[in-house]
Amino acid sequence: MLTLWGRENSSNVKKVLWLLDELNVTFQHINAGGVYGKNNEPLYLSLNPNGLVPCLQDDDFVLWESNAILRYLAERSGKEAFWPDNLQQRAAADKWLDWCSNSLTVPFRQVFLTLVRTPEAERDMSVVAAGMAAFEKYWAIADAVLAKQKWFSGEQFGIGDIPVACYADTWFRLDIERQSHPNLERWYQQLQQRPAFCKRVMLPLS
């Protein structure tokens, strides 16, 4: 039996919940972190000594780090769409997990934490401007890729789309002025046709 620990409005938890739904896997979900607490209690720290979410239990096996969990679930499922047998197809989709972590995480925090979780009087808009500039640079790269293929994972939706989408959803729903990236916008519209994306990712921004 799979058990996933982590608050449902965490970007890193959202992507795991989304994949679990796409895979149609039965699992138990325990909200932890933020207002739910639990993540600094001895039980949770015995599973993940970092005290961060998400954390996955698969019977006696415990795994933390959201991208590692995505890869594990994708391979565990045996579904070609999420873990192709072809090595190059799999690597081409898989690279977007690392690209997302290495490129989008810092500007996401700069923009999201400042505009959503910081009182207006305390906001440093220079931090937002730096984050916005970085985002636009990376979205231009993403848009150019999507001009050549339908999804980040290739010609069909897959694991490579999931982490990028969790940041992109917030980006598109923030009340900010954005540059136009038509291929990225087309991809985002495609995502909204997926029930699991709407259920797990398109939550109120908080």
Q: How far is CA 71 from CA 46, 52, 86, 90, 92, in A?
A: 23, 18, 15, 10, 13
Asked whether the beta carbons of 136 and 127 are under 8 A apart, the reply is no
- Compute the distance between CA of residue 180 and CA of residue 165 in angstroms, rounded to an integer: 17
**pLDDT, tens digit only, all 206 positions of the chain:** 899 999 999 999 999 999 999 999 999 999 999 999 999 999 999 999 999 999 999 999 999 999 999 999 999 998 999 999 999 999 999 999 999 999 999 999 999 999 999 999 999 999 999 999 999 999 999 999 999 999 999 999 999 999 999 999 999 999 999 999 999 999 999 999 999 999 999 999 98
- Compute the distance between CA of residue 64 and CA of residue 56 in angstroms, rounded to an integer: 6
- Compute the distance between CA of residue 92 and CA of residue 108 in angstroms, rounded to an integer: 23
Cβ neighbours around 6 below 10 Å, total: 29
